[in-house]
Amino acid sequence: MIQGSNSETYDVIVIGAGAAGIGVAVALKHAGIENFLVLERHIVGASFANWPAETRFITPSFPTNSIGMLDLNSIAVGVSPAFSLEVEHPTGKEFASHLIGVADFFELPIREQTNVLRVTRIGEDFKVDTQDETLRAKHVIWAAGEFQFPRTSGFKGSELCLHTSAVGSYEEVGGDNFIVIGGYESGIDAAYHLAFYDKRVKVFDRGCPWKDESSDPSIALSMYSLERMREDWFREQVELYPDTTITSVTKAGSGFEVFTDDNRIFFSKHQPFLAGGFEGSQKLVANLFESRHDGFPALSENDESTITPGLFLCGPAVRHDNHVFCFIYKYRQRFAVVAKAIATLLGLPADELEIYRKWGMYLDDLSCCGEECASC
């Protein structure tokens, strides 16, 4: 990766080199911005590389087709994980290798193994403190994602559970009769793979996401997950407990007891799996954003902080009204918006239509309702 110099004030510093960080960095180049740097505390695509070995994308990848639509998991124009990897549902490690290839192809200035400790607004600029040095920038894009920030709270004894993000491989999990707390995507994924390896599983969820009638995978289970739930071994090995809230988990002799809100107790000899989702990295800069009623950062129409000018958010934590941008094919639609806003602030000739075209998206394609709107 190209290393940027630390003897200057950058026009932009992007924090995070996952799907959001690499994607928005490409959009910055398309907008004519050259003086920028991407900081990554591990390596490019580290979060994806650390997925459980069996976990795959629930959104299918397919090569760009004749009408100009991008592969759902693509983060830049002209690149497709399906084409380069030749798989429809990539594993995390496969997608990480794809991100590395994209970063190399576009010659993005990335500094790996750089942990950002603080972001501070100083006058008209930002001070970005890392473990080794202090960098300065006119604008900052927070794109650090969420996988490395699992939600491990929620009920008494949740710390006794193993979060699904900490699983290396379900094949290597020994024993039988497991409990999974959480029935959304990561919980069903865990149950699916454990059942495939001939283990019995109980899945508890406070709702019933596998019966939700919404077609939005941000709310209900994806078709990919529902399809896998119909496999014979899933039906035979997995018991589903909908509308069942877990109130506590305790250590009990050689195993664990799991308590529900209807006063039932379930015992497992093995550490329960916690599929409770992710808090997200945005909590590390929460003081630089106003908070919405749902706890997510409040953003302007350009995904800029409403209280810290020059600070932008990219990635799965982006929210506008009731629209949730938690999948790549959703939040990538905001890359060009952020790039255009910053280019304009820098005095560059940021022609909106041209930036969108360079990024491979036409205004007609951006609209879900005939007009540009927050959901697009």
Summarised one tens digit per residue, pLDDT across range 41-50 is: 999 999 999 9
Of 26 and 220, the structure prediction assigns the larger pLDDT to 26
| Euclidean distance between CA atoms 306 and 319, whole angstroms | 13
CA neighbor of 376 nearest in space, from 339, 335, 340: 335
Confidence of residue 368 (pLDDT cuts 50, 70, 90): very low
pLDDT of residue 231: 96
Q: Per-residue pLDDT for 89 more than 90? A: yes
pLDDT (average), residues 253-281:
95
Q: How far apart are CA 81 and CA 193, in angstroms?
A: 23
Higher pLDDT, residue 358 or 125: 125
pLDDT of residue 78: 81
Please give the mean pLDDT across all residues of the chain: 89
The pLDDT score that the predictor gives to residue 66 is: 53
Would you state the pLDDT for residue 363? Answer: 36
Local confidence band at 361 (pLDDT 50, 70, 90 cut-offs)? very low
Mean pLDDT of 290-301: 95
Sequence ranges of the chain with CATH classification 3.50.50.60? 9-148+278-366, 158-274
Spatial separation of the C-alpha atoms in residues 369 and 354, rounded to whole Å: 22
CA distance 193 to 185: 12
Say what the pLDDT of residue 219 is: 73
HEC-encoded secondary structure of the chain: CECCCCCCEEEEEEECCCHHHHHHHHHHHHCCCCCEEEECCCCCCHHHHCCCCCCECCCCCCCCCCCCCCCCCCCCCCCCHHHHHCCCCCEHHHHHHHHHHHHHHCCCEEECCCCEEEEEEECCEEEEEECCCEEEEEEEEECCCCCCCECCCCCECHHHCEEHHHCCCHHHCCCCCEEEECCCHHHHHHHHHHHHCCCCEEEECCCCHHHCCCCCCCCCCCHHHHHHHCCHHHHHHEEEECCCCEEEEEEECCEEEEEECCCCEEEECCCCEECCCECCHHHHHHHHCCECCCCCECECCCCEECCCCCEEECCCCCEECCEECCCHHHHHHHHHHHHHHHHHHCCCCCCHHHHHHHCCCCHHHHCCCCCCCCCC
Average pLDDT over residues 343-351: 86
The superfamily (CATH) of domain 9-148+278-366 is: FAD/NAD(P)-binding domain (3.50.50.60)
Is the C-alpha dihedral spanning 49, 189, 65, 313 positive or negative?
negative
Q: Which two tokens stand for residue 130?
A: 């890392």
Mean pLDDT of the 223-244 span: 96
Instruction: Return the higher-pLDDT residue of 353 and 273.
Output: 273
At the fourth CATH level, which superfamily is domain 158-274? FAD/NAD(P)-binding domain (3.50.50.60)
Confidence of residue 350 (pLDDT cuts 50, 70, 90): low
pLDDT over 90 (residue 373):
no
- Interval 100-159: pLDDT, tens: 999 999 999 999 999 999 999 999 999 999 999 999 999 999 999 888 889 998 899 999
220-246: average pLDDT: 95
53: number of CA atoms within 13 Å, CB side? 7
pLDDT given for residue 68 in this prediction:
55
pLDDT band at 63 (very low <50, low <70, confident <90, very high): confident
**Per this entry, what is the length of the chain?**
376
pLDDT band at 7 (very low <50, low <70, confident <90, very high): low
Over residues 318-330, the pLDDT tens digits come to: 999 988 888 999 9
**At a CB cut-off of 8 Å and minimum separation 6, what does 357 contact?**
none
CA distance 185 to 89: 14
Q: What percent of the chain has pLDDT over 70?
A: 89
**pLDDT in the model for residue 70:** 76
